[in-house]
Structure 1
């Protein structure tokens, strides 16, 4: 059985894709292409599935997957917390009205200005990532006359069997304090010695796009043992649950299945998790217009600037014709972008009808995580908008970037 990778409201009527009750042709006519189309009902349902799986713990949405003020407002209404990892993400959390006590601040190199802004705002917790940061944060908190809650990021030495660029829990990592080398224990000593810091819990994150629950279980067990040694009662075990991007991908574990594994290893501790990709990823479809067809190359009006993941990680995607039905036999095509790079490939070996033509719309599912958030302006291409759909209505929640926006930066 193939994996269903489309948002829950996706439906085809006479060959046209509809999302949230809105047709692809109408979306393209009103909002242009390329456009990220975010199914609000799908996003919120996936967020609720994490809350349902952890009713006695804390769910922090991983903002790095995709974040904007409107999404922050959804999270707030649902009762999720939020993790951010830069001053920019912190600013979005503020703009969206997230209560500061429900925000956790990550990052391996937070600046003094970022930390000061977060502490002054009343941020719920800072995850410290180095001895330098412990001292830096302690001084800032003392200068502001507050006692700042912190978690210590620990690298538990677990191989999550994912791409090397998104594996973060091994001993050779830029993140956190090594458990086996004793750095994590020393970090506990340093934090508890600072009057302006409160040791609130321990944190680990072993990587992203992980399907093997055993890796999560091993990390949880090691962290639980360390918590018992230090007397800490809270564990934040990060995110990283994998999702499918093509129908041939394995079916990922559910939040409930992951939490069952984590609970088994962490009895008596209050848990927190940080899902991001598994909420945002499947909720969004990228909509493109085909511009040219050259042999088996189908060129669309986007590419590596709005989806860098295929070039960075070799990530595989699929796509479907979104504006019409076709009875033509299928051919095998490569979908490429408009950028001046041979590696500007979005989808390889894609079956499309042989009568595919310029002006057709192409929809790429599972486009919600690490696409808009990693998008850039290569070749001075403005970034696409994000359009939320629900109950037959569409509204812009991130507007399309314009050439005027780009030119405004130049002196």
Structure 2
């Protein structure tokens, strides 16, 4: 997919003079992130939900990430429409509708599903084509104390239950797998080796051949304030975990990164609508592309763009409100901006590639439609 391309954020402002938010992709960042995952010791699935824009999907595909973690029939159709049967699709949502399973199987050839209860397994067996290559992975609940967002409150079977589900799948003549997710924005690489160790115990206790181990997502983005080791430390823990449980070579190893692939590859250019003392109202907010910034723990690099002249060297914190009439439209953490920030200034909010486009709404009539690429 081709996008209008600009040399910099300043060029976007100079050429467009935008009164509405502009979302900017950084293709070089996206390509670099994809290449970092070449070192993962298995198969990499991009989590489509993180940013489903065709520009992202096509760029990652060209860089060799040709498998996708899909969670809905719409995502299945999106990948199928872009790549037909040349892309792998893995239906890893543990709670799927029957039509989505049926259409995914019959029309898109999906052969990999995830479940965390016997009811979901039965549903898959009812609706999917029962061929020899069908695989159902059991989502295992794991500790997520080192992740910014815990996912096991919603998904994941306790170890003993996971053992029973794995055995049930095998007894029904289907290939079985084990999967987990350590939580989004995981700050400790050892969380992966710990979760793999727990997976190994489930595999041994189940006593049946395991075709797939999916270590999920959770690989972090380098947001301000998060002290992170290099991504290679996460891969090293995955490899060590695999060795420790003596995972057989025949067992496919998967991961499903989202945030770590796209976070640094997107930014938003917004404009100051009103300054009221130390409060600033923007033309975008938590009902738009800034949804993730509702948490006080979420901070992003910001800077003012003012083509008409210089900005103050003195910085101060501003409370940031969005454009809607809802009092919840406020960011959790302040922006550190020049003291003379004023109406009409543009603000570049960096590292916004993850979940920004996928979670925006049209609430109150506000919506980001302008999407461009920035070369630098």
TM bucket (normalised to shorter chain) is: 0.7 to 0.9
Q: Secondary structure at the match of 2:138?
A: strand
Q: Given that residues 328 and 355 in structure 1 are in contact (C-alpha distance below 8 angstroms), is that contact kept between their aligned partners in structure 2?
A: no
Give 1:289 shift.
1.1
- 1:177 maps to what in 2? 157
Counterpart for residue 255 of structure 1: 231
Counterpart CA distance in 2 for 1:70 and 1:124 is 26
Contact 2:6 2:12 (C-alpha < 8 Å) held by counterparts: no
Residues 82 and 109 (structure 1), Cα distance of their counterparts in 2 relative to 1, 3 Å cut: same
Map of 1:277 onto structure 2:
259
Q: What's 2:23 paired with? A: 36
Asked if the contact 2:50–2:358 (Cα under 8 Å) also holds between the matched residues in 1, the reply is yes
Q: Post-superposition shift, 1:146?
A: 3.5
What residue is the counterpart of 2:69 in the other structure? Answer: 83
Query: Counterparts of 2:180 and 2:332 in 1: how far apart (Å)?
Result: 33
1:60 is paired with a residue of what secondary structure? strand
What corresponds to 1:301 in structure 2? 283
Determine the C-alpha separation between the residues in 2 that align with 1:322 and 1:194: 61
Shift in Å at residue 219 of structure 1? 0.5
2:302 to 309, 319, 335: 319
1:214 is the counterpart of 2:170 = no
Change (3 A) 1:70 1:318: closer
The change in CA–CA distance for 1:160 and 1:100 in structure 2 (over 3 A counts) is farther
* TM-score for the superposition, normalised by structure 2: 0.86
What is the CA-CA distance between 1:347 and the residue it aligns to?
Answer: 6.5
Q: 66-75 or 283-292: which moved more?
A: 66-75
TM-score w.r.t. the length of structure 1 is: 0.80
Unpaired runs of 5+ in structure 2? Answer: none
Residue of structure 2 equivalent to 1:125: 112
Tell me which moved more, 304-313 or 78-87: 304-313
Distance in 2 between residues matched to 1:176 and 1:348, nearest whole Å: 31
What CA distance in whole angstroms lies between the structure 2 residues aligned with 1:95 and 1:112? 21
CA positional deviation for 1:88: 1.8
Q: What are the superposed Cα offsets for residues 284-307 of structure 1, whole Å, 9 maximum, x if unpaired? A: 111101111111112111111112
Range with bigger deviation, 350-359 or 111-120: 350-359
How far apart in 2 are the matches of 1:31 and 1:47?
32
User: Deviation at 1:21?
Assistant: 2.5
Equivalent residues in 2 for 1:282-361 (5 A)?
A: 282-306=264-288, 307-311=290-294, 315-324=298-307, 325-346=310-331, 348-361=333-346
Give the secondary structure class of the aligned counterpart of 2:49. coil
| 1:230 corresponding residue in structure 2 | 208
Q: CA deviation at 1:127?
A: 1.5
Aligned residue pairs total: 358
| Alignment equivalent of 1:363, drawn from 335, 348, 353 | 348
SS of residue paired to 1:75: helix
Q: Deviations over 1:215-273 (max 9, x none)?
A: 22210111133334433153110110222332xx1332322110101111112534221
Shifted more, 99-108 versus 260-269: the winner is: 99-108
RMSD: 2.4
The one of 136, 146, 149 aligned to 2:123: 136
Kindly provide the CA deviation profile for residues 33-92 of structure 1, in whole angstroms up to 9, marking residues without a partner as x: 3121110110111011011x22x4111111111112232222222221110111222122
Deviations 1:327-370 (A, max 9, x none): 45333322221122333223744332233222211011111111
Residue correspondence of structure 1 range 55-74 to structure 2 within 5 A: 56-74=41-59
Displacement of 1:114: 0.3
Offset, 1:148:
5.1
